Every structure is written in structure tokens, then in C-alpha cells.
Amino acid sequence: MPRLERLEHLRGLLPSGKVGALPKLLLFARSGFSPALLRLADRRPDVELVDLGRLYGGA
């Protein structure tokens, strides 16, 4: 969760005049994600989680 909060903070620093749509937040992990983060990402269209399976297998 701290990494997601940091990405949200950094996204908030982007100049709104130069950013069209709200950028998605992508988190990458080689060993998976916590159950809490998985649940959160399911509810938020602006958050995408990329693990090794998705990175190499697609989807």
C-alpha cells in the first residue's frame, strides 16, 4: 500500500494542464501482491497490478 500511496502522490504533482485523462497507476511485482492490494485494485480502474505471469503471459 505505501508504494501505491506514493504513486498517487506523484500523480497529483503532474500539471493538470499537460495531462489529459487521469494516468493509470501500474505496480509491478515478481512475487505477487498482498490480498488487500488485490482487492483494492479490483475496485479501482486507475490501478493495474502486473506480476510475472501477466508480464510474460499477457492479459
Q: Examine the pLDDT at 51 and tell me if it is beyond 70.
A: yes
pLDDT, residue 1, reads 81
pLDDT, residue 59, reads 67
* Digit-coded pLDDT (tens) for 7-35: 999 998 888 777 778 899 999 998 889 99
Domain ranges of the chain: 25-58
Smallest Cα–Cα separation from 53: which of 36, 28, 34? 28
Q: Are 38 and 49 in contact (CB under 8 A)?
A: yes
